[in-house]
Structure 1
Amino acid sequence: MSKKMNLTTKIFIALILGIITGLVLHPLKDNVIVNNYIVNFVFNLLGNGFIRAIRMVVVPLVLCSLVIGAAGIEDVTKLGRIGIKTLAFYLSTTAVAVILALIGGNIINPGKGVNIGEIATSEVTIAKTKPFVDILLDMIPINPAQAMANGNMLQIIVFAILVGIAISLLGSKADNIKKIFEEGNALSLKLVEMIMIFAPLGVYGLISKTFTTLGYVALLPLFKYFIGVVIILALHCLITYQGILILFGKYNPMKFLKNFAPTMMVGFSTASSSACLPSSLKSMQENFGVSKAISSFTIPLGNTINMDGTAVMQGVATIFIAQIYGIDLTMGNYVTIILTATLASIGTAGVPGVGVIMLGMVLVQVGLPLEGIGLVMGIDRFVDMFRTMVNVTGDAVCTIVIAKTEGEELK
């Protein structure tokens, strides 16, 4: 069994134990010892200690990973129009995925009917609706250091991308500073790895506290969240991707699904986009006849920045957490979520736990309580299998569309 599976298994076991512990203690929730020492000390320490550790690493991880991600897109200038079309495809489909997730989340309403705002231990504030022009202006940091200190994620993202582009344009002149960010990125990922060791304890504390307070009523929203994410992922994969394949790739969707199914199954079973890289490249070149020049660019780039499945999860999870804490999101918040999740996709690394960090980043940006992460983390492995399959499918669709627009004859 792999290390990732071991951690995932521990988190899932922690979820189950947390639910059982909470249901057992629920009838005793008003007991002084249970309330003061077990719920508000032990569970609070475990759960919120983990949340604080996540918050600690969000800013350095986002900054360093996005700088390196943007700096690494030097190949885009080399490949000219192919690079620009590929980048446009990945970012636009990610934006569509977030919008679809927000619409679907509001239709499904996974967190409606349950309000656990009373057990939130962090201050919950949602900003008032701003004019769209102000949202765009607020993305530009006047003081990058202040943006990082305040955790203003959109400003950090914009600053990081601009720094990465500048490093790319400077070339060898910026090798030293690029190395600093690469080392900072490696350090941040190692911190994530260390923090995730304690994820089972954090999940146990958060889930135990939730179910001690609410009892059985907390089970239905969790199930609705999972089903909601899976349905929206399926819609994005079967309608958005296949629609693009027909309109721009002039390719038969049924033929595509038949030929690419083995790689989709690799993504589903491993829950790792990186593990699918060899299979995706082989499939594009042998099953579809895409040239090596195009596939060897679009697939690895998509593996890095095409995170539509993760974006869907972030959108639905944000709606779920807002609803379950009884918080109404404004239109300005929705725009912010779309921008944050889309831009952040460039820096989402393919390591266990980073999806949770990126979700935390979106929650911070719109002022939602990070404790909500504990509710979705326990079943994230199952969600991860579906969203990884969507991610690798998007890489393949992009590759076919780019190949077709470049005049290649496919099988």
Structure 2
Amino acid sequence: MATSLQNKLGLTSKILIGMATGIIFGLILRNLFPDSIFIKDYITDGFLHVIGTIFISSLKMLVVPLVFISLVCGTCSLSEPSKLGRLGGKTLAFYLFTTVLALVLAVFAAVIVHPGDATLANEKLNYVAKEAPSFAQVIIDMMPTNPVQAMSEGNMLQIIIFAVIFGFAIAHLGERGNRIAQLFDDLNNVIMRVVTLVMQLAPYGVFALMAKLALTLGLETFGSVVKYFFLVLTLLLIHNFVTYSILLKAFSGLNPLIFIRKMRDVQLFAFSTASSNATLPITIEASEHRLGVDNKIASFTLPLGATINMDGTAIMQGVATVFIAQVFGIELSLTDYAAVIVTATLASIGTAGVPGVGLIMLAMVLNQVGLPVEGIALIIGVDRLLDMVRTAVNVTGDCVATVIIAKSEGEFNETVFNNTQAGKIAPSFDEQVHKID
């Protein structure tokens, strides 16, 4: 009976159950054994840490081969330089447009709501930010000097550029190139099957991640920055459900409600992992099989989006900059606000899709307008929760752009998009193994 019920549950339901039970489990242990060394050493830092880390590692394991193989496959089919240039131009333009839109929304809302309280500057501020790279260095670092090293280090921009060049070369080798392209198509099918199998671990990984979070993150961390927290959270939700829906309807004419419904699995993964890169295998799978985007588009726009499209991070940086200025009683001019928008937009290009890196890039934005970097210490306590939400926003933005661009290029299957059951991942692990056999 239990097995039958489990097989009927979709992936979203299983993840939600894992998330809810993880939070409940963590809160129960936290309240029953508040100072237990055993719980901390063997449950929080032991069992839960091991299970959660294995889950994240299993996703990260797929990122580099998935991005490289799928991007080579996509570029192989774009043999015309004009089409590749047009696709790249559309993608970059859309990502930059939504990032600027997010920043304007964030700065305007922060100025109106005024979340910063000058008395908070008396709090102990001991955050030491790592040095953020300059924009010039970000541009220089995009070109790989050693593609193998870029893959071993997970440098996504360098991997993307090498894969595009490699795929473009294959497309111009004639018959020999066709044989290599077929090999990469087969490899792409293999890696997508691995993604399907790994996704069966999701409910257990999410349970461990959420239980550990409930055990380690206390409500007291909200304390003095509750207004900042809820302002950023509200803006993230508005951008995710309102802004993206308007853009999707305006540029593609598609139903935003169908899109939001089909994005639930991806958003839950992103929320749980707080990493756009770790969520990338699921994002690509959902875009192709749930949303109806052709592989040649998804394999180009999504890896690029996971690297440079950080609307959620931009919202945090915009609100945090104004918040810190208000806390320290520093007046920002219109020029300063413009500098915040420009700098944060450029910073988002260099922001890696991994947890917590947004705070490092925030230091770059604060320095640009002469604000004390120490102010980051005020928001670091609540940033983990916001990081999870803004990652979900980031991957949603990637998929909105991918759908819009695919439709404009004629590489979109609207029948798949409108089919609520298309690409739905509900089978059990045993059923997957049976299919493979």
Normalising by the residue count of structure 2, what TM-score does the alignment of the two structures yield? 0.56
1:180–1:367 CA distance, 2 compared to 1 (3 A): farther
1:175-211, CA deviations, whole angstroms, 9 ceiling, x for partnerless residues? 47x999999998xxxxxxxxxxxxxxxxxxxxxxxxx
Select 2:358's aligned residue among 345, 355, 359: 355
Q: Identify the range of structure 1 (305-314 vs 102-111) with the bigger mean alpha-carbon deviation.
A: 102-111
- Do the aligned partners of 2:280 and 2:302 also contact (CA within 8 Å) in 1? yes
1:80–1:184 CA distance, 2 compared to 1 (3 A): same
Separation in 2 of the partners of 1:271 and 1:184? 19
Q: Which residue of 2 aligns with 1:227?
A: 230
How much does 1:409 deviate? 3.1
Amino acid in the other structure paired with 1:376: I
1:373-388 to 2 correspondence within 5 Å? 373-388=376-391
- Do the aligned partners of 1:272 and 1:350 also contact (CA within 8 Å) in 2? yes
1:364-379 to 2 correspondence within 5 Å? 364-379=367-382
1:331–1:185 CA distance, 2 compared to 1 (3 A): farther
Amino acid in the other structure paired with 2:358: G
1:182–1:403 CA distance, 2 compared to 1 (3 A): closer
Separation in 1 of the partners of 2:266 and 2:122? 42
1:152–1:348 CA distance, 2 compared to 1 (3 A): closer
Separation in 2 of the partners of 1:284 and 1:185? 22
Amino acid in the other structure paired with 1:160: Q
Structure 2 stretches lacking a partner, 5+ long: 1-25, 31-70, 156-219, 418-437
How much does 1:108 deviate? 1.8
Matched, 1:304 2:281: no
- Do the aligned partners of 2:132 and 2:364 also contact (CA within 8 Å) in 1? no
Q: Which residue of 1 aligns with 2:137?
A: 160
1:66-215 to 2 correspondence within 5 Å? 79-112=84-117, 114=119, 116=121, 156-157=134-135, 159-160=136-137, 163=140, 175=145
SS at match of 2:119: coil
- Do the aligned partners of 1:111 and 1:221 also contact (CA within 8 Å) in 2? no
Amino acid in the other structure paired with 1:288: L
Separation in 2 of the partners of 1:152 and 1:385? 22
Q: Which residue of 1 aligns with 2:331?
A: 328
Amino acid in the other structure paired with 2:227: K
Amino acid in the other structure paired with 1:88: A
How much does 1:221 deviate? 4.4
Q: Which residue of 1 aligns with 2:278?
A: 275
Q: CA RMSD in A?
A: 3.5
How much does 1:112 deviate? 3.5
How much does 1:239 deviate? 2.0
Select 1:289's aligned residue among 272, 276, 292: 292
Matched, 1:314 2:291: no
Separation in 1 of the partners of 2:222 and 2:397? 32
- Do the aligned partners of 1:311 and 1:345 also contact (CA within 8 Å) in 2? yes
1:69-115, CA deviations, whole angstroms, 9 ceiling, x for partnerless residues? xxx9xx79671211110111111111111111101111221114536
Separation in 2 of the partners of 1:95 and 1:363? 17
1:389–1:116 CA distance, 2 compared to 1 (3 A): same
Separation in 2 of the partners of 1:182 and 1:284? 24
1:111–1:386 CA distance, 2 compared to 1 (3 A): same
Select 1:242's aligned residue among 242, 245, 249: 245
Q: Which residue of 2 aligns with 1:409?
A: 413
SS at match of 1:289: coil
Separation in 1 of the partners of 2:283 and 2:152? 29
1:185–1:322 CA distance, 2 compared to 1 (3 A): farther
Separation in 2 of the partners of 1:363 and 1:252? 39
Separation in 2 of the partners of 1:249 and 1:391? 19
- Do the aligned partners of 1:111 and 1:225 also contact (CA within 8 Å) in 2? yes
How much does 1:334 deviate? 0.6
Amino acid in the other structure paired with 2:385: F
Separation in 2 of the partners of 1:313 and 1:393? 16
Separation in 2 of the partners of 1:271 and 1:352? 5
Separation in 2 of the partners of 1:179 and 1:367? 39
Separation in 1 of the partners of 2:413 and 2:148? 41
1:331–1:179 CA distance, 2 compared to 1 (3 A): farther
SS at match of 2:289: helix
1:248-259 to 2 correspondence within 5 Å? 248-259=251-262
Separation in 2 of the partners of 1:182 and 1:331? 42
- Do the aligned partners of 2:244 and 2:400 also contact (CA within 8 Å) in 1? yes
Separation in 2 of the partners of 1:180 and 1:303? 20
1:20-31 to 2 correspondence within 5 Å? none
- Do the aligned partners of 1:117 and 1:325 also contact (CA within 8 Å) in 2? no
Q: Which runs of 4+ in 1 moved over 6 A?
A: 75-78, 117-122, 178-186
Amino acid in the other structure paired with 1:232: L
Amino acid in the other structure paired with 2:121: I
- Do the aligned partners of 1:115 and 1:323 also contact (CA within 8 Å) in 2? no
Separation in 2 of the partners of 1:354 and 1:260? 24
Separation in 1 of the partners of 2:320 and 2:288? 36
Normalising by the residue count of structure 1, what TM-score does the alignment of the two structures yield? 0.60
Separation in 2 of the partners of 1:318 and 1:83? 31
Separation in 1 of the partners of 2:149 and 2:399? 33
1:242-282, CA deviations, whole angstroms, 9 ceiling, x for partnerless residues? 11100002110111111111111111122111121111111
